[in-house]
Copies of this chain bind each other. A is one copy, B any other.
Amino acid sequence: MTIQHALLGLLRTQPLSGYDMKKAMLRSPLFHWSGNNNQIYRARAELEARGLVEARIHPGDAGPIKKLYTLTEGGLAELHRLTRSFPDAPELRKPFLAQLMLGDALTQPEMEALLEQYRGEVYGASLLLPGDAFAPDVTPYEAAIQALVIDNLRQCYQAELAWIERVREEMKNVYL
């Protein structure tokens, strides 16, 4: 899954401008890319050079000059191929685990404070997930996939919050 793959995927359902792609990257928890201009514009340029996307300029419309990109035949074929390509393993980056594991021993109040801060971080992240029916006019297939994907992420955050409670409980025994 490269950023180019992600951009092709975004263009599958509707044409987008570079700015739209940037917003989608920033909003969606599905993408780990920062959504900064440089990266998106370079990836977009390369897709264009490979003939996978095409720009249609809309100068006549009200609003600033805007380039709307659409998939070409080649782009659709490439997306088809990528959709069926070998799936990447999930990558779980949990720096807090390393922080606990590699650090020196915390006192009970210090541990309490850290856990509470972490709970806040995780809870905050969970709130950024889109609610259930976030796209109305989709096929049953797409609706099912969307529900399952959101569910996957929601469960991850739920499990993390439950783990924090478990740490609180377990550490009580350690601190006497």
Interface residue tally of chain A, by bracket? 35 or more
Indicate if the CB atoms of A141 and B101 lie closer than 8 Å: no
CB contacts under 8 Å to B, within A127-173, are 139-142, 144-149, 151-153, 155-156, 159-160, 163, 166-167, 170-171, 173
For the complex, give the distance between the alpha carbons of A125 and B79 in Å.
27
Copies in the complex: 2
Among candidates B12, B79, B97, residue contacting A149 with C-beta atoms closer than 8 Å: B97
A103-126 interface (Cβ within 8 A of B)? 103-106, 110, 114, 117-118, 121-122, 124-125
Please determine whether A92 and B95 come into contact, CB atoms closer than 8 angstroms: no
Distance of A28 from chain B, by nearest CB (Å): 8
Interface pair B12/A104, CB less than 8 Å apart = yes
Q: Is A89 an interface residue (CB 8 A)?
A: yes
Choice from B9, B103, B170 contacting A83 with Cβ under 8 Å:
B103
Q: Which residue of B lies closest to A148 (CB)?
A: B167
| A binding-site residues for B, Cβ under 8 Å | 1, 5-6, 8-10, 12, 29-32, 76, 79-80, 82-106, 110, 114, 117-118, 121-122, 124-125, 139-142, 144-149, 151-153, 155-156, 159-160, 163, 166-167, 170-171, 173-174
Pick 30 A–B contacts, CB within 8 A, sort by A. Answer: A1-B95, A1-B98, A5-B99, A6-B98, A8-B102, A9-B98, A9-B101, A9-B102, A30-B97, A76-B104, A79-B104, A84-B106, A87-B99, A87-B117, A89-B121, A89-B122, A89-B124, A90-B125, A92-B92, A93-B93, A94-B152, A100-B145, A101-B149, A140-B174, A141-B174, A144-B174, A148-B163, A151-B163, A151-B166, A152-B163
